[in-house]
Structure 1
Amino acid sequence: MEALTNYYKVLNRSQKLYLFSITCLLLSIITNPVLMDMSKGFLSLALLITLIALIKDGNKIYKIIWSHNLGKGIMLVLYALLANICFALGDQFVNDALGVEPTTFKYVRVYASILLLPFLVISVALIVQMIVVIGSGVYFFIAWLLNSLVSVGILSEFIPERKERFWLLTAIVRVIVLSIFINCLHQKFLNNSNDYEKFVKSSIVSFVYFLESYSKSRCILAPEQRIVPLLNDEILVLYPLANNSYQISLKQCVPAITHNKAFKSDS
């Protein structure tokens, strides 16, 4: 028992979090056949602890990358790429929800992009998992090679000393825990993807109805109808229905004021 306590004391905070996470995962597996609710509780606790550990490690990596000019450039390019992907996906959802080109709508496009951030996070997480799983074999080989070369003459001066105890075991645990965490996250997202898509589309239509359409217009409108002016006297008409949905239709503007074409000025 004293030996285990000594091993625990030399672990850093991240390693302790991974240890707690693995313990909760094992308890979840053990209790799964008998106590389903308790098993789900242990699994949720393991995922929460894993998230905290990943944020801590990710923040450390982010600081290292951001401390170099090249790293800053790469991060800014990635931010720009992700922002453009968000806007492009947002435009597709606006087009699908309203049935017209999204270029007319200034504000709902940004709103839709924000709503799609969870989808983007899941996609990036899957890409990260793929990179980590594929690159872990190369990493372990290089790590073993460097560890073997530490005592070889002049090479030892160029290889940094490892300050983390049990670094190889910790790296393996990180890969396993990261894979489990992302797989659970992905499965949860797949189970709720249809509801999430419906939520995004209904939120887009509600946003347009309340914040980006108009109840007063030069066009003839029925009560509770709101419009968005389009090109060439075309209007998008939104009308609320009883089940918290909206009827959306594309119409030609019928002016509320009819000009008298027979009027002639005195010559």
Structure 2
Amino acid sequence: MMRLLAPIKRWSSRFGLVRIKSFWLSLTFPQRCYFSALMICLNGLFVDLPVMDETPPTFSNPFINFALFIALIALVVEFWPRFYHFWESLPGKAIILLFYAFVANYALVQAAGMINDITGLNADKFPYSHNMALLLSIPSWFAITTLFVLLITQLAMPLYLLALLILRPLGVHEYFHSPDYRFPFITGIVRYGFSLTLLAAAVTMTQESGLSTSINETLSGIARGFDGVIDVNNEDAPQDAEPEEPLGISLDVQLQSEDSPTPQPENVSANQLKLDKVRERNSKIRQKGQAYDQHIKQFIANFVYFQEADEKSRCEHDTQSRIVELNDFEIVEIFRDSTQPLRYRYEVKPCISAALGHQFKQPK
């Protein structure tokens, strides 16, 4: 028996494992990640299919999620040297700094608006709380925008693949990559497929976490800022605007219902069911966005009361309250109030101290 199995073992070791090992060693680290992610995806498809009948699709398969994580590592490793090379140039520094300054400015304005929504006062009166709100928003803004820029740039991959096909007969395709880089065309196709899937997964993640609401409001504000330059004094503009759709939600159903001819009776129920699904999805996304904002605002409100507000002050105030001095003559007194949405009530009062404000003191 051993004699019969010996040729099989020699054949497998000579033509099987050796070839697999040489093929694996010839690949770069990102290519190994792409290959591993592809194998994991193929394995995961036979275990449990992801739910793809929603808008956008829900990625609930752990194999698919792990494969996408490996593909994301490959994308970061592959494009980090190019980003670093772009950063080393003077125009690259200017573009990158301008982009992140743009993002940081919007995060700064969003943090100031959050403080104003919580307290009803200008964010300048609460510098520490403003900084805390900014620190909570900047990491998510930077991470999400960087991820989306990385994935959106991959949408130009078909142009890269077309250039490879055209320039390969001319022998100048090595300018795109090193000569020892194997399978560039197949790698580009796999990279493009994973980039599209990661982009859909990133949109789904922002929606499920509730971040899409603030991002969508910011993008809508930017669009209205460009479009409203001409129509800012237009009196015929509608006063009540429709609520914006959340990020990533397709409007094909609504456009179809408005622009297409009257559907046949047998298609009315199907179109209505599809429209109801989109509306239900939009409602869930808005609720998650409101819940996310509520958690952040509650954290900031607690920070204002327990950290920034003073328990003792030169100005008279209730023993059960805390205050923040707005200036030499005014204070904001903060009370715990379970009837308020964030459980705190803010009242602006005159500062009655040893030398000032006695004319505002109520008679006993």
Please point out which of 249, 252, 262 is paired with 2:349: 252
**Aligned residue type for 1:22:** L
Deviation at 1:190, TM superposition (A): 0.9
Deviation at 1:64, TM superposition (A): 1.7
Please point out which of 22, 31, 35 is paired with 1:6: 22
* Secondary structure, counterpart of 1:148 in structure 2: coil
Segments of 5+ residues of structure 1 without an aligned counterpart are 262-267
Query: In 2, are the aligned partners of 1:108 and 1:208 still within 8 Å (CA)?
Result: yes
Please point out which of 30, 41, 64 is paired with 2:62: 41
CA distance in structure 2 between the partners assigned to 1:84 and 1:211 by the alignment: 25
Match of 1:18 in 2: 34
Answer yes or no: is 1:163 the counterpart of 2:180: yes
Q: Percent identity, please.
A: 23
CA distance in structure 2 between the partners assigned to 1:227 and 1:256 by the alignment: 13
After TM superposition, the structure 1 = structure 2 runs for residues 1-267 of structure 1, keeping only pairs within 5 Å, are: 1-2=16-17, 3-33=19-49, 40-116=61-137, 117-133=139-155, 135-150=156-171, 161-193=178-210, 194=289, 195-230=291-326, 233-240=329-336, 245-253=342-350, 255=352, 257=354
**Aligned residue type for 1:226:** R
**Aligned residue type for 1:181:** L
Deviation at 1:15, TM superposition (A): 0.8
**Aligned residue type for 1:6:** S
Query: In 2, are the aligned partners of 1:21 and 1:46 still within 8 Å (CA)?
Result: yes
Superposition TM-score, scaled by structure 1 size: 0.79
* Higher deviation after alignment, 105-114 or 10-19: 105-114
CA distance in structure 2 between the partners assigned to 1:106 and 1:22 by the alignment: 49
Deviation at 1:165, TM superposition (A): 0.9
* CA shift in 2, pair 1:27/1:188, >3 Å: same
Segments of 5+ residues of structure 2 without an aligned counterpart are 1-15, 51-59, 211-288, 360-364
Count of aligned positions? 252
**Aligned residue type for 2:190:** V
Deviation at 1:180, TM superposition (A): 1.9
**Aligned residue type for 2:169:** S
**Aligned residue type for 1:84:** N
* Higher deviation after alignment, 6-15 or 139-148: 139-148
* Structure 1 runs, 4 residues or longer, greater than 4 Å off: 156-161, 241-245, 256-261
Query: In 2, are the aligned partners of 1:214 and 1:226 still within 8 Å (CA)?
Result: yes
Deviation at 1:160, TM superposition (A): 6.5
Query: In 1, are the aligned partners of 2:333 and 2:349 still within 8 Å (CA)?
Result: no
Encode CA deviations 1:189-244: one digit per residue, 9 max, x unaligned: 21221333222212221222222221112333223421222258443332345799
* CA shift in 2, pair 1:192/1:251, >3 Å: same
* CA shift in 2, pair 1:128/1:203, >3 Å: same
